[in-house]
Amino acid sequence: MSIALNQILSLVGNLDDSPGENTPRERFRRFLKENVTEVGQIRDYVQECLRITGTQYNRALQDLVNYIAHFLGFEVTFGRYQGVKGEIGFDGHWISAQNFHIVVEIKTTDVYAIKTATLMNYINELISEKKIPSWDKALGIYVVGRPDPQMKQLENSIIAENQTQKLRIISVESLLSLAEMMNEYDINHDDILDVLRPSGPTIDSIVDLMARVVAEPEKKEIEEITTVSKIADKREISYWMTPVKSDEMQTAEDVINTLVGQGKIYAFGERTPGRRHIQANDWICFYATANGIVAHAKVTSKPVNKPHKLVRNPELYPWTFHLDEVHLYLDDPIIIDAPLRNRLDSFKGRDPNKSWAWFVQATRKISQHDFEILTRRKK
């Protein structure tokens, strides 16, 4: 049975940098190593950290991000939670068997401005202490919990300072996706390195990786969207779930509040699964990525190619449709945790602790039973 992160943290105690084998941080890290064997469990814990603010959850997220690196084939040295004079203040040091080193800084809050010199100095100090051979064998990565405007500024700084060969940025969501791909497909540690490291002059290795993933359709977990059947010339009502991502300008919740709550519309892209099949009288619920289901509504028109000014990128998402009977619960999301997944038709015959991002990565048709559970219509 899965244990919620808040229960684990209550049992281990307040995470801090106190030394010793039986300190809260060592008990927490030992729990992860001994009990968390599936990427799906890590995803649940990461999302809990992103939903709840506070020092305890920021520090837990730092450990969880470092633990994801184990799933990617790295040997990991956990960093300190808080910097102290006389010690290198990196958040994590990941070491590949290929003698390549990644030093990470984990971004959990926008309270402090991020200066690229800080991470660069960590690597320089590790090189000075001979824990990293040279810059040729090193890379600094910022791991971001949620996108925000400061991340775009950081990206611009890296480009302006011509440090794109030394520093990179990845979201926690994408890092989890890499771990899930390595677990589910014929992808190995060398492939992961090819993705994380700045691209060299040859791109064959990346194309190779993509080709191997595409060549394994039997492992694809994402359902195909099928044409809705008709009974006695009367179309059945269909139920849909669609993910909404945050970006540097708006959170997913802001997007849903603006489009669904205020505008009573939503928009799909040209290649959004289900775009050709969703119809009036269907129902749709909205998944705020890394949070949960935060709204649902009744569809009152089929999508038409008519860009709307409320849509943040109308050129990418021109297919607009109208909604009614809107229900918003932005501050009280339905969390898609392991116990809930175990109740869904979509997870019948599956281990709810295994990788589950496939369920929320694209718009999909779901059963009425699943829709009612995901929208609290069914207890």
pLDDT at 75: 97
φ, ψ (nearest 5 deg) of residue 346: -60, -20
d(CA 44, CA 2): 10
User: Of 192, 203, 197, whose CA–CA distance to 168 is shortest?
Assistant: 197
d(CA 91, CA 83): 9
d(CA 228, CA 236): 7
pLDDT in tens, the chain (379 residues): 578 899 999 999 999 999 999 999 999 999 999 999 999 999 999 999 999 989 999 999 999 999 999 999 999 999 999 988 888 899 999 999 999 999 999 987 555 668 899 999 999 999 999 999 999 999 999 999 887 777 788 888 899 999 999 999 999 999 999 999 888 887 899 999 989 998 767 777 777 777 767 665 443 443 444 444 444 345 689 999 999 998 878 899 999 999 999 999 999 999 999 999 999 999 999 999 989 999 999 999 999 999 999 998 999 999 999 999 999 999 999 999 999 999 999 999 999 999 999 999 899 999 999 999 999 998 7
d(CA 180, CA 268): 26
pLDDT at 129: 95
pLDDT at 214: 64
Q: What global pTM score does this model have?
A: 0.85
What the block records as the tokens of 194 is 């090819």
pLDDT at 60: 97
Positive or negative: CA dihedral 164, 166, 172, 176: positive
User: Of 63, 79, 70, whose CA–CA distance to 29 is shortest?
Assistant: 63
> Within 13 Å, how many C-alpha atoms sit on residue 73's CB side?
18
| 3-class secondary-structure state, position 339 | helix
pLDDT at 268: 97
Per DSSP, the chain holds a count of helices (H) and strands (E) of 12, 14
φ, ψ (nearest 5 deg) of residue 356: -135, 10
Contact 14, 24 (CB under 8 A): yes
pLDDT at 234: 58
Q: Domains in the chain and their CATH numbers?
A: 5-219 (3.40.91.50), 230-374 (3.10.590.10)
pLDDT at 262: 97
pLDDT at 24: 97
C-alpha distances out from residue 281 to 46, 236, 237, 325, 333, Å: 36, 9, 6, 11, 24
Contact 242, 287 (CB under 8 A): yes
Residue type, 353: N
pLDDT at 137: 96
| 3-class secondary-structure state, position 276 | coil
pLDDT at 199: 74
pLDDT at 283: 98
